[in-house]
Amino acid sequence: MHPLILDCAGKPLDLSVPRVMGILNVTPDSFSDGGDFLAPEKAVQRALEMVEEGAAVIDVGGESTRPGAAPVDVDEELRRVIPVIEALQRELTVPVSIDTRKPAVMQAAVAAGAGLINDVNALQAPGAVETAAALGVPVCLMHIQGDPETMQDQPDYRDVVAEVGAFLVARARACRDAGIARERILLDPGFGFGKTPEHNLLLLQRLDTLVANGYPVLVGLSRKSLIGNVLGLSVDKRVYPGVALNVLAVWQGASLVRSHDVRATREAIEMCHAVQVAGPGC
Ligand code: HH2
């Protein structure tokens, strides 16, 4: 079993009950909140709001990884995220996570106060595993097929659930071989990252098989296109179905759910957890 409390550079992230990771994109082009929080004051205000709504960690990203997104260079990504992380380190009691694929950004972000590395590329960039190992903070390894620019062109699997699981376990093994302790690794199947609508639904249906590997599991389902595909809803109308998907994930053992809609998600997963732990003695 995974440890219940992660040490995020001195700030605890208690996963003994399922938690919400609040999304804070400091980008002009993210698929849902792009452009809303580019100004550092607005970003800090939004983070405080999400903590008040019950977020246990705030995930700061400076590069959109939506399908078709063009890469951002390292200087621009640093310019976007570092002032915000510095301010959040001062203002928040909860840990800050850095959502990046670049070792240089990981390094600067942790120096500025970030306590968790969230990499949609599972630390596959040259030097990323070594950087994360040296920084000593927990890491979230996410599955992606291809890269954001082309990943939705032709996603292809023989058995998506088995292949995503095997990839993540192999990446966790590579991290452990490089000195990242097992207790500091989270896994994420990467909903929407090189997957068809059917692949996404299957991955959620069998999330329990990923949880069975013993690492805490993070899911990012918030407002994503799998909801649009089933219900035909625009991004701004995907809150309720997104909450439902997060409940399905927590029911199967997910520890952390990444969401734009913190209060609704937090209340729903707390309720779900209450049902999970109910027993004759309670
Ligand atoms: N999804 C996004 C970004 N980071 N990290 C993890 N671990 N899991 C995810 O599913 C995930 C993620 C994409 O969503 P968002 O940040 O809202 O949009 P954008 O990439 O356009 O900034």
Which residue carries 């009950």 as its tokens? Answer: 17
Pairing of strands 11-14, 218-220: unpaired
- For residue 259 and ligand 1, the question of a CB distance below 6 A is answered with no
How far is Cα 103 from Cα 211, in angstroms, rounded to an integer? 27
CA 65 to ligand 1 center in whole angstroms: 6
CA 64 to ligand 1 center in whole angstroms: 8
- For residue 54 and ligand 1, the question of a CB distance below 6 A is answered with no
Report the run of H or E that residue 70 belongs to, with start and end.
none
- For residue 99 and ligand 1, the question of a CB distance below 6 A is answered with yes
pLDDT in tens, 183-212: 999 999 999 999 999 999 999 999 999 999
Residue 166 has what pLDDT?
Answer: 98
- For residue 188 and ligand 1, the question of a CB distance below 6 A is answered with yes
Residue 2 has what pLDDT?
Answer: 61
Task: Give percent helix, percent strand, percent coil of the chain, each to the nearest 5.
Answer: 45, 15, 40
Closest ligand 1 atom, residue 220 Cα: 10
Task: Give pairs for 270-273: CB < 8 Å, separation 24+.
Answer: 270/17, 270/18, 271/247, 272/18, 272/247, 273/17, 273/18
pTM, two decimals, is: 0.97
- For residue 30 and ligand 1, the question of a CB distance below 6 A is answered with yes
CA 202 to ligand 1 center in whole angstroms: 19
- For residue 32 and ligand 1, the question of a CB distance below 6 A is answered with yes
Mutate to test the pocket of ligand 1, among 97, 119, 142 (most ligand atoms within 8 A of CB): 142
Q: In the chain, what is the straight-line distance between the N-terminal and C-terminal CA atoms, in Å? A: 24
Q: Do residues 233 and 275 lie in contact, with contact meaning Cβ atoms separated by under 8 Å? A: no
Residue 3 has what pLDDT?
Answer: 63
Residue 282 has what pLDDT?
Answer: 63
Residue 248 has what pLDDT?
Answer: 98
Q: Whose CA is nearest to atom 18 of ligand 1?
A: 30
How far is Cα 152 from Cα 67, in angstroms, rounded to an integer? 6
Structural domains of the chain ordered from first start: 5-276 (3.20.20.20)
Residue 38 has what pLDDT?
Answer: 85
Supply the residues annotated as catalytic. 224, 258
Residue 26 has what pLDDT?
Answer: 95
CA 217 to ligand 1 center in whole angstroms: 15
Residue in 222, 216, 160 with CA at minimum distance from that of residue 188: 216
Q: Which residues of the chain have pLDDT under 70?
A: 1-3, 282
- For residue 66 and ligand 1, the question of a CB distance below 6 A is answered with yes
Burial class (CB in 10 A: 0-12, 13-18, 19+), 67: middle
Q: Whose CA is nearest to atom 10 of ligand 1?
A: 220
Q: Whose CA is nearest to atom 1 of ligand 1?
A: 220
CA 257 to ligand 1 center in whole angstroms: 11
Cβ-based neighbours of 230, under 8 Å, separated by 6 or more: 197, 201, 241
- For residue 64 and ligand 1, the question of a CB distance below 6 A is answered with yes
